[in-house]
Structure 1
Amino acid sequence: MSGGRNRKVAHLMTLLVSDVLTSRERIGVEHAELARQQRRARRIRETIENLGPFWVKVGQILATRSDVVSDAVLRELAGLQDSVHCEPFDVFEPVLRQELGPRWRAKFREIDTVSPLGSASLAQVYRVVLADGRTAVLKVQRPGTRERVYADMASLRRAARIAGRAVPRIGAVLDIEATLQVIFDCMQPELDFTAEAKHMAQGQRMARDFKGIHIPDVYLATPRVLLQSLAPGEALNKADLSVFSDKQRRRIGSDLLTFMYRGYFVERMFHADPHPGNIFVHPEHGATLIDWGMVGRIDRNLGSLGVMVLTSLAQNDARGLASAWTEMGRATPFADLLGFQEDMTRLVPLITAAALEDLDFGIALTNVLRCAAQRGIRTSPMIGMLGKSITNIEGSVRRIAPELSALEVFEDALTDVMVELARDLLSREQTARRVLELIVAGNSTVDQLRSLLRDLANRELTMRVGLLPGHGMGSDGNGILTRRVAPVLAAGLAVWGVRRLAAGGALARGG
């Protein structure tokens, strides 16, 4: 990296560390200090925008982390957009020649090189007509993008280590290395369009059960060129919603939320950037999600706990939310768990059953994060990416159907989510795993009994109660007998049973 760019990175990290050190008190801040915070927040946003695409993504993640940055920085970073001025087509033509060969023009009947459909820091997008007459979208990566982003990743790692040593309290509630790795993993497909094409294929499989959710078809993919079908309608941030009926608006909003919930909790792969510019809407066709370069993936355990968090919100259960949130991360040695539960007791009733027009779910998530950090609870590194996705989809749905309640839609989708989770738990692979866990736990129990009998024979009694971590009922357990798996399984089986009874009754009536 150039010396000037290194100085910009160092300046940005200095501003962020200053923000963290002066943002302990969020209430009763003097007017002069508040003005200083706002000026610093503005400089942070401007520096991030000047540094380019990778840093914009980092800023968007920071915009969801109220446990790290001040309110002033949160407000500034919330408006970050990954868009730049359009470059002449001549800049991208060498990329097309390198990726598609010297006869690349033969693939197209027409290319609108004058008015690109979009221009972002990583790529530029054009409307094209293929040789067979189909209209399509051509996405071409900017020259040198990969090298710049990799250099930025290395620079951020170094700067974050220095910042972590300067502000130890960040490291207590935020796993900096793991959080950075999550960002890096999510950005990799944006640097290789063949990976984005695979995500789109998986997204299409996820959308098969949704009549109103669509993913573009991929016609051709190389590491730096992507050719895909044209999404019908207009981007949500530009669409004239007056041509949509109320029923159409609510259906699209509900389908979008349900599709994303399914990604979070069942598929465990989700679109990480569903902002209004990445969602095209059409009155009859529904919604089309584009730009699958940035996706998130979560494991089975985090997905199940996420279901518990939203279920607790829907049921106005502050204690359940506090417990599930703590398990998603880790309680530090100085954690105040009772204090966190009291915080949730005040917060949860304000969230439950509110419509999107009355509730900013992103702000609600921000408040939970902040309370957790203040009470000494380290949040899972994946929460930043989840928070970004949830905040974006909530903002998108608020545009088209603000009267919807995100939690009510979740409750409607919960039946299918629970059935899928139960089916997963009862699958052959999971059954085999549980059997192995019980065998290991059984062996441990046998060893303890032998030790007990030997101690009794020697007139000494030493008893060790508990199973091996990760094998059942221990507080660190993640096995078949843990308290979070049993309720999910029971609920799923109950729903499955109700469905079978309903189906049987319908069959009997038909007979």
Structure 2
Amino acid sequence: MAVMIDPEKSSLLRAAPRLIQILRVLARHKFLGALRGKNHWPPPHEVRETFEELGLTFLKFGQVLAMRRDLLPDAYIDELELLHDQLPAQGIDAVRATVEIELGAPLTKVFASFSETPLAAATIAQVHEATMHNGRHVAVKVQRPGLEAMIATDIAALTYLVALGESLFPRLRALDLPVLVREFANSLNRETDFQREARSIVLFRTALADVPDLWIPDVVAECSSGTVLTLEFSAGERVDIYARLHPEAMPRAIGTLVRLMLQTIFEEGLFHADPHPGNVFVLPDGRLSLLDFGMTGELDEPMRDSLTLLLEAVVKGDARAATEAYLEMTTASEKVNRAALLLDIKAVLYEIHRSDLADVSIGDAFDSLLRAGSRHGVHNPGEFFLLTRAFVILESMIRQLDPDHNYLGSFREEISRLTAQHFSLARITDKTTKLARELERLMSDAPGDTRRVLRRFAEGNLGRLQSPALEALGGRFSRNLERLTGAIAAAALVIGGAMLVLAPLGGWHHILGETMVISGIIGTLIISIGALRRDRGRR
């Protein structure tokens, strides 16, 4: 089964021992000093080492934070970018057990040969080379056992830590950290669901079938499940190694990389979010092979249309059009300072257009837009961060493969082709047809809707606020005040207990501290359950 994490349903009580362990690690790496203000933050290397020590979930969370230059200073981002996915490989017995449970047959019955030494071992899974009984050469991706319970516990602990931080430092609420944790949990859900990855591979193979210099390994469906994914074997070598031996082949390879990235984004609303050299191989016949679709993003049609307009505005240096297109891609909010945002985007575009074309980066431009938006109250969607990360990784790889390549030239050529297609007669006709249907529906519904509004107006009940509504509002205010008081008391117990646990006193101080931490967590759980029951009762 694939891992499914729901932070709302994860038990805080179950996470209590893990929470105490996390607090101890944070104290050892000087995080408690951050309670005194930004000037007392731990050094960047301590932050990275903390995530490494806390294990798989926090490694992944650190990688997510590394995409958020709008939240953290550059020194911390640079350090978090050093976090890597490599972990010691699990033994062949654990791998065999997972495969046999998931596929419902002994390993030797499914595969004629199965290498005990993995080709690669990362945080979520490891890959083994194998041969099927029909002679088909395959790669088998096997998920690490026990991920579901471990990740669910860590997400529960993270959720509680964020809630505690917001109660202590209300200014943190502007950062939308609970939303960040929820998006992180959803990202882990996607990355650990191998059935979703298999569907993504099928979609990418279909979308890129007309790209002649590209091959994507097919899924072997009968040997795949939620935690085991079997693919055709890619018998090539990493593109960065190939580039050192065959530099003359790189312009063509880079053109293919740019095309596959932009074509899937604008035509299918899909993108590979981790296009680093380890996921791009060169086959013996010179074609590229794209691997690992565990981290992909999706853009709906309105967002793709806005992205097209945004890129066009960035190229033209039109700050007003870029601002409008950017805001169309984000969640609307009355708190957005549009005038200040426009000024910042003007400055971003000015820097882009005064730079040497060889130094211009689409990923860095997107990153600057995200930072400007966050400063002025914009709630950026998670997919936009993922897309920005994908461009940054792709551009970094291209500069590594061929430092002298005119990347923007390849980009402009492909974006021109896609823009012409975007505004083609067939597409305009399709959109016009959809608009006509919507107008037809509006015209048919309008008379009835108008009669109902006029009838309510004549009866005098249009917009009337009944007294029971006022009473309900007062009741909600009272209940929320009670919840807030209880939450502050629970937070005080957790903080006081944590200080006793972390103090080098030992003995009864340590026991009392752990009792206070657990009591605070239980109090929070009781408040949450009570609120949930009242909410359900009102429905």
| TM-score band w.r.t. shorter chain | 0.7 to 0.9
Q: 1:161 corresponds to which residue?
A: 163
**DSSP 3-state at the match of 2:229:** strand
Is the Cα–Cα contact under 8 Å of residues 314 and 407 in structure 1 kept in the other structure? no
Within the candidate set 104, 124, 131, 1:101 is matched to 104
Within the candidate set 117, 120, 130, 1:118 is matched to 120
**In the alignment, does 2:263 pair up with 1:288?**
no
Q: Which moved more, 1:288-297 or 1:349-358?
A: 349-358
Say how many residue pairs are matched: 436
Is the Cα–Cα contact under 8 Å of residues 111 and 130 in structure 2 kept in the other structure? yes
Deviation of 1:144 (Å): 0.8
Residue-by-residue CA offset, 1:443-465 (whole Å, 9 max, x unaligned): 798799999xxxxxxxxxxxxxx
Query: Quick one: distance in 1 between partners of 2:411 and 2:142?
Result: 37
Q: 1:255 corresponds to which residue?
A: 256
How much is the aligned-residue C-alpha RMSD, in angstroms? Answer: 3.5
Higher helix share: 2
Q: 1:341 corresponds to which residue?
A: 342
Q: Return closer, same or farther for 1:152/1:206 CA change in 2, 3 Å cut-off.
A: farther
Is the Cα–Cα contact under 8 Å of residues 208 and 264 in structure 2 kept in the other structure? no
**DSSP 3-state at the match of 2:131:** strand
Residue-by-residue CA offset, 1:151-179 (whole Å, 9 max, x unaligned): 3333333333334444544544x544544
Q: Which moved more, 1:304-313 or 1:277-286?
A: 277-286
Q: 1:80 corresponds to which residue?
A: 83
Deviation of 1:62 (Å): 1.5
Q: 2:208 corresponds to which residue?
A: 207
**DSSP 3-state at the match of 1:382:** helix
Residue-by-residue CA offset, 1:138-158 (whole Å, 9 max, x unaligned): 111111122322333333333
**DSSP 3-state at the match of 1:309:** helix
Within the candidate set 218, 221, 225, 1:222 is matched to 225
Query: Quick one: distance in 1 between partners of 2:250 and 2:380?
Result: 35
Deviation of 1:316 (Å): 2.5
Is the Cα–Cα contact under 8 Å of residues 218 and 228 in structure 1 kept in the other structure? yes
- Equivalence map 1:7-406=2 (5 Å): 7-9=20-22, 37=41, 39-114=42-117, 116-172=118-174, 174-219=175-220, 220-237=223-240, 239-246=241-248, 248-282=249-283, 284-330=285-331, 332-352=333-353, 358-406=359-407
Is the Cα–Cα contact under 8 Å of residues 234 and 282 in structure 1 kept in the other structure? yes
Q: Which moved more, 1:186-195 or 1:215-224?
A: 186-195
- Equivalence map 1:349-498=2 (5 Å): 349-352=350-353, 358-422=359-423, 425-426=427-428, 433-439=434-440, 442=443
TM-score between both structures, scaled by the size of structure 2: 0.71
Q: 2:459 corresponds to which residue?
A: none
**DSSP 3-state at the match of 2:230:** strand
**DSSP 3-state at the match of 1:227:** strand
Q: 1:393 is matched by which residue type in structure 2?
A: L
Query: Quick one: distance in 1 between partners of 2:34 and 2:315?
Result: 34
**DSSP 3-state at the match of 2:43:** helix
Q: 1:109 is matched by which residue type in structure 2?
A: A
Deviation of 1:251 (Å): 1.7
Is the Cα–Cα contact under 8 Å of residues 358 and 407 in structure 2 kept in the other structure? no
Q: Return closer, same or farther for 1:356/1:415 CA change in 2, 3 Å cut-off.
A: closer
Q: 1:7 is matched by which residue type in structure 2?
A: I
Which of the pair has more CA radius of gyration? 2
Query: Quick one: distance in 1 between partners of 2:90 and 2:422?
Result: 47
Q: 2:149 is matched by which residue type in structure 1?
A: E
Q: 1:460 corresponds to which residue?
A: none
Deviation of 1:357 (Å): 6.2
Q: Return closer, same or farther for 1:103/1:88 CA change in 2, 3 Å cut-off.
A: closer
Identity rate, percent = 26
Q: Return closer, same or farther for 1:307/1:53 CA change in 2, 3 Å cut-off.
A: farther
Q: Return closer, same or farther for 1:315/1:199 CA change in 2, 3 Å cut-off.
A: same
Query: Quick one: distance in 1 between partners of 2:395 and 2:207?
Result: 20
Query: Quick one: distance in 2 between partners of 1:271 and 1:158?
Result: 32
Q: Which moved more, 1:50-59 or 1:442-451?
A: 442-451
**DSSP 3-state at the match of 1:92:** helix
Is the Cα–Cα contact under 8 Å of residues 15 and 153 in structure 2 kept in the other structure? no
Query: Quick one: distance in 2 between partners of 1:393 and 1:242?
Result: 18
Residue-by-residue CA offset, 1:295-332 (whole Å, 9 max, x unaligned): 21122222211122222222233332222222322565
Deviation of 1:193 (Å): 1.8
Query: Quick one: distance in 2 between partners of 1:267 and 1:53?
Result: 32
Q: 2:8 corresponds to which residue?
A: none
Query: Quick one: distance in 2 between partners of 1:12 and 1:288?
Result: 41
Deviation of 1:8 (Å): 4.9
**DSSP 3-state at the match of 2:359:** coil
Deviation of 1:361 (Å): 4.4
Q: Return closer, same or farther for 1:397/1:22 CA change in 2, 3 Å cut-off.
A: farther
Query: Quick one: distance in 2 between partners of 1:165 and 1:358?
Result: 43
Query: Quick one: distance in 2 between partners of 1:303 and 1:17?
Result: 43
Q: Return closer, same or farther for 1:240/1:419 CA change in 2, 3 Å cut-off.
A: closer
Is the Cα–Cα contact under 8 Å of residues 254 and 409 in structure 1 kept in the other structure? yes
Q: 1:30 corresponds to which residue?
A: none
Deviation of 1:224 (Å): 1.8
Q: 1:275 is matched by which residue type in structure 2?
A: H
Deviation of 1:439 (Å): 3.6
Query: Quick one: distance in 2 between partners of 1:151 and 1:301?
Result: 36
Q: Return closer, same or farther for 1:264/1:89 CA change in 2, 3 Å cut-off.
A: same
Q: Return closer, same or farther for 1:337/1:106 CA change in 2, 3 Å cut-off.
A: same
**DSSP 3-state at the match of 2:113:** strand
Is the Cα–Cα contact under 8 Å of residues 280 and 290 in structure 2 kept in the other structure? yes
Residue-by-residue CA offset, 1:358-415 (whole Å, 9 max, x unaligned): 3454444333222222233332332222222222222222222333455433321224
Is the Cα–Cα contact under 8 Å of residues 90 and 144 in structure 2 kept in the other structure? no
Q: 1:104 is matched by which residue type in structure 2?
A: L
Q: 2:383 is matched by which residue type in structure 1?
A: M
TM-score between both structures, scaled by the size of structure 1: 0.74
Residue-by-residue CA offset, 1:442-499 (whole Å, 9 max, x unaligned): 5798799999xxxxxxxxxxxxxxxxxxxxxxxxxxxxxxxxxxxxxxxxxxxxxxxx
Query: Quick one: distance in 2 between partners of 1:293 and 1:369?
Result: 24
Q: 2:514 corresponds to which residue?
A: none
Query: Quick one: distance in 2 between partners of 1:170 and 1:441?
Result: 43
Is the Cα–Cα contact under 8 Å of residues 355 and 406 in structure 1 kept in the other structure? no
Is the Cα–Cα contact under 8 Å of residues 122 and 142 in structure 1 kept in the other structure? yes
Query: Quick one: distance in 2 between partners of 1:266 and 1:88?
Result: 42
Q: 1:158 is matched by which residue type in structure 2?
A: Y
Is the Cα–Cα contact under 8 Å of residues 51 and 58 in structure 2 kept in the other structure? yes
Q: 1:61 is matched by which residue type in structure 2?
A: V
